Structure 1
Amino acid sequence: MRSKVFDSPAAAVADIVDGSSLAVGGFGLCGIPSELIGGLAMSGVTRLEVFSNNCGVDDCGLGVLLSAGQIRRVTASYVGENKEFARQYLSGELEVELTPQGTLAERLRAGGAGIPAFYTPAGIGTMVSEGGLPWRYNADGSVAVASPPKETREFGDRSYVLEESITADFALVHAEVGDAEGNLVFAKTAMNFNPLVAMAGRVTIAQVEKLVEPGELDPAQVHLPGVFVQRVVRVGAVDKRIEKRTVSA
């Protein structure tokens, strides 16, 4: 069987081509696959479609790819820390689909579980379900592409909106520990989106701080089984930035 372990982040992402779709893990700047993102930045791949909780900040995380003009479309639940993101979106350079955070998480999980769509009450009575959210602007500020209305249905005495699941060509995730078979252990807040993202990728690539041999991880402590992971690369300790540092006087 071919080894899942790759020598470098650049080698692990080398076959990601222009126009690929990517599910990318992390919550804010916590648990982001920064080294894999760096490999993509060096490759120069363009027109990427990204599914992620957010798009990093101007000089970190997915913001690196965004600043280099490598991203065509983003589906996210929060985008408030990136000025270049706002500029590209409002000028019509970037297409953006905003979705409730819990809905995004479930769309990723459902994609990994083979569920094509599901009903949720989140967004009922808003533009999320009724359509009209600006996905892409024209250069003059008019709306070029707006979100379509979604199917709704009554269950009991409540209304629900149908949301489609997400699958991506590739998924990029960060784990604290992984083994050579792709079993992963995540740390703290990095658990929020990385496991769901990993499930949604047709090819999932994990950067791990510590790489161990098969059998060294306690099966009861594994957060994501290796069946969901196709590639692993050890990156060692990585810089872990904070979006906004708050200190007491």
Structure 2
Amino acid sequence: MNPLYPDARTALQDLIQSGTHLAVGGFASAGVPTDLIGAVHDLQVQNLRLVCCSTQRSEHFGVNRLITNGQVTRLVTSYLGPNDVVRALYLSGKLQVEFVPQGTLAERLRAGGAGIPAFYTPVGAGTVAEDGKEVREYGGRRCLLEEAIVPDVGLVHAWKADRSGNLVYRRTAQNFNPQVASAARVTVAEVEEIVEDGQLDPDEIHTPGIYVQRLVLNPTPDRSVLTVRLREAR
């Protein structure tokens, strides 16, 4: 049975250290493990190497809390986001950023979880993504060698879990969470509801509990960043 921790800080305080290679699930504001990110922020660890699909609009939400607090020195992402503070850190050289095509980033994490050290893909060939990478031709197409990503710690958000750590995500909040959960050496899941073993239909489980080492209950995740934008009818 997976240990259920009383709060996010307790679940992370012996895992997250300065220099930790950290991956975080979520895309924009969907499926973001806000409590776990807040705990990393409060632990004040430095020199984090962060992998995430995207940053967020507000510097007070999601991984932007870590970046704008100066805790992240290297970021691997597919989208830097619209936040001016994060963008300024990148342009000033205070934040190293490796931009990866979104599908390639997902596959690098998936490969890490599957034990595949590297793979070839035509995505990015002939662009800046090719710089410094081994190139081979397959079927008449130039392909880049991409290495798997295996983070030290993965933080994910799920809708439901059972006490064995099996996870169910809700709609688009699934996004990168399954890939992060499988790739990381240790995965901590922040979940909105925990049920007893056997109460989840096996067909609805997205991430098997074998990939999840720790659970934190957060029945009311922070969704304050969500906004509705309307425009006048023409």
- Report the TM-score, using the length of structure 1 for normalisation: 0.89
TM superposition shift of 1:55: 2.1
| Structure 2 residue matching 1:168: 3-state secondary structure | coil
1:36 maps to a residue whose letter is L
1:94 is matched with which residue?
95
- 2:59 is the alignment partner of 1:76: no
Deviation of the 1:245 alpha carbon = 3.1
Q: Which stretches of structure 1, 4 residues or longer, exceed 4 Å deviation after superposition?
A: 241-244
Residue 36 of structure 1 and its aligned partner are, at CA, apart by 0.1
> Match of 1:23, as an amino acid?
A
Please tell me whether the aligned partners of residues 28 and 243 of structure 1 are also in contact (alpha carbons under 8 angstroms): no
Q: Which residue of 1 aligns with 2:32?
A: 32
Instruction: Give the AA of the match of 2:172.
Output: T
In structure 1, the gaps of 5 or more residues are: 132-148
Report Cα offsets for 1:20-77 as digits up to 9, x if no partner. 0111000111000000000111111111100000122311001111121111110000
Q: CA RMSD in A?
A: 1.3
Q: Does 1:177 align with 2:160?
A: yes
Tell me by how many angstroms 1:239 deviates: 2.3
For 2:123 and 2:41, the matched residues in 1 are separated by 35
Shift of 1:164: 0.5
The sequence identity of aligned pairs, in percent, is 47
Within 5 Å, which residues of 2 pair with 1:157-196?
Answer: 157-196=140-179
State the one-letter code of the partner of 1:177: K
Question: 1:248 Cα shift?
Answer: 4.2
Bigger mean CA offset, 90-99 vs 80-89: 80-89
* 1:7 counterpart letter in structure 2: P
User: 1:242 offset after TM fit, Å?
Assistant: 4.8
Match of 2:26, SS state, is coil
Q: For residue 246 of structure 1, give the secondary structure of its aligned residue in structure 2.
A: coil
Alignment of 1:110-129 (within 5 A): 110-129=111-130
| CA–CA distance in structure 2, aligned partners of residues 59 and 242 of structure 1 | 9
> 2:20 corresponds to which residue?
20
Contact 2:61 2:225 in 1 (8 A): no
The separation in 2 between residues aligned to 1:7 and 1:242, in whole angstroms, is: 25
Give the distance between the partners of 1:243 and 1:160, measured in 2 at CA: 39
Corresponding residue number in structure 1 for 2:204: 221
1:128-147 CA deviation, whole Å, 9 max, x = no partner?
11x1xxxxxxxxxxxxxxxx
CA distance in 2, matches of 1:64, 1:127: 29
**Further displaced range: 64-73 or 163-172:** 64-73
Aligned to 2:5: 6
Distance 1:34 1:247 in 2: 26
Measure how far apart 1:80 and its partner are.
Answer: 2.3
Q: 1:39-78 maps to which residues of 2 (within 5 A)?
A: 39-56=39-56, 57-78=58-79
Counterpart amino acid of 2:196? E
Q: Could you tell me which amino acid in structure 1 is paired with residue 31 of structure 2?
A: G
Give distance in 2, aligned partners of 1:78 and 1:230: 28
- Mark the runs of 5 or more structure 2 residues left unpaired by the alignment: none
Q: How many pairs does the alignment contain?
A: 230
Local SS of the residue matching 1:207: strand
SS of alignment partner, residue 75 of structure 2: strand
Secondary structure of 2:45 counterpart: coil
Say which of 138, 150, 164 aligns to 2:133: 150
CA distance, structure 1, for counterparts of residue 205 and residue 155 of structure 2: 18
